[in-house]
Structure 1
């Protein structure tokens, strides 16, 4: 992935809800424009401040990046990070969160199936 954006502390800005709202909005804009890596970076910043909605969005974006075969990170690493964010989200029992977790499990199963189809390397 790309280098993570600066945190508000790095810029000398307050870390109140206004900053998180702006960063979340930037994540949404990046996601809408198809820049999933940048969206993940913004959602990660907000999720690290404790916002459950950002953790859920981050998990969803990381899952989509894994599906796309992002060159920056392996699909397994992306799915592992998505799992951590989705399972730790405070709203993990809402219907939307359950749907995201189910999608993540399906992605992990597809990834395992792909690994099972890869030819074994013999030396």
Structure 2
């Protein structure tokens, strides 16, 4: 899907850059402020619009959200989505991307270990 560039008709908005650039910038802002859910939403929009580095940032933020999530099912869903974005990133072979992927694998191992330590329900 092509990214729609800004046009002068977009009153009150910058005329240089793309929607993906703005979404990525908002993701960065929310991430700096510690609002990881909003950051993930904006990074997701940027990644879906084709911004490669947004997929990496989204994977990292989703991993952090999974670490903070106390519900096992929700954390697993976040990790699964993070893995999809990281594995599909265009620049997944850079050192930063490899580090993010390694972190994600470690998170998945920790999550699996937690599941193994949970008591099984008794009937």
Same fold (TM over 0.5): yes
Deviation of 1:15 (Å) = 2.2
For residue 50 of structure 2, give the secondary structure of its aligned residue in structure 1.
coil
Q: TM-score, normalised by structure 2?
A: 0.84
Within 2, Cα distance between the matches of 1:74 and 1:66?
Answer: 7
Larger Rg: 2
Within 1, Cα distance between the matches of 2:44 and 2:86?
Answer: 12
Within 2, Cα distance between the matches of 1:47 and 1:18?
Answer: 12
Equivalent pair of 2:86/2:92 in contact (CA under 8 Å): yes
Number of the residue aligned with 2:58: 58
Number of the residue aligned with 1:107: 107
Within 2, Cα distance between the matches of 1:24 and 1:32?
Answer: 12
Cα displacement string for residues 39-95 of structure 1 (whole angstroms, at most 9, x for unaligned residues): 000000000011110000000000000001167x71000000000000000000000
Change (3 A) 1:109 1:47: same
Number of the residue aligned with 1:15: 4
Number of the residue aligned with 1:36: 36
- Structure 1 residues not aligned, in runs of 5+: 1-13
After the TM superposition, which parts of structure 1 deviate over 3 Å for at least 4 consecutive aligned residues? Answer: none
Q: TM-score, normalised by structure 1?
A: 0.84
- Structure 2 residues not aligned, in runs of 5+: 6-16
Within 2, Cα distance between the matches of 1:37 and 1:83?
Answer: 17
Aligned-residue Cα RMSD (Å) equals: 1.5
